[in-house]
Structure 1
Amino acid sequence: MTAGELAERANLTTGAVTGALNRLERAGYATRQADPADRRRVRIVPDEEAAARVAAVYVPFYQRLAEMSAGYSAEEMGTLTDWFTRAATAMRTTLEEIRQGGTT
């Protein structure tokens, strides 16, 4: 993934992503590497050991989510998924409107 792709997916400016990537590189969590298919592009590459440490932190959270989700029927999970998907879309739309100079 490139910094631009990350910025788009995270709804951040490229400047904000660059600052975050600089900090991640200094901390040893990621590096920037030339894209072998297009050397003008730079890809963000996570450090495997650091990624494993971060993933381990989230394992208890994911386990709790799985336990919590087990209490819902498939229909209820569908409703929850629909709600969160629509809420995320509403947030992205609102952020885009704000970026374009509107209030909402």
Structure 2
Amino acid sequence: MKQGTIKHMAFFTLKHPLDAKETEVFLKDGRDILSNIDVVENFEVLRQISPKTNFDFGFSMEFKNQDDYDTYNNHPNHVAFVNDRWLVEVERFQEIDYVLYK
């Protein structure tokens, strides 16, 4: 990761059972919709394996700078995904944004 890059991660648990078709569809749609926003780099869908947290999945992505991160947050596809899917299907979540230290 380069200096100035923002790593954005959202860890979450869905309202659907882990093995439900709806879970698979949500994760696929998240990948397809969010990774296709031009400013998104290194998009990953992650599965939690640690017993130290109660979140099941994560989306991780990077942005070159704050302007790209702001573009993503305001992009119509991101806004629609949040309103139509995230707010409806996600039970709980935590967002974390990092930049390199020094």
Kindly name which structure, 1 or 2, has the bigger radius of gyration based on alpha carbons: 1
Name the structure, 1 or 2, with higher relative contact order (CA <8 Å, separation 6+).
2
Greater strand content = 2
One fold, TM greater than 0.5? no
TM-score normalised to structure 1 length? 0.28
Higher helix share: 1
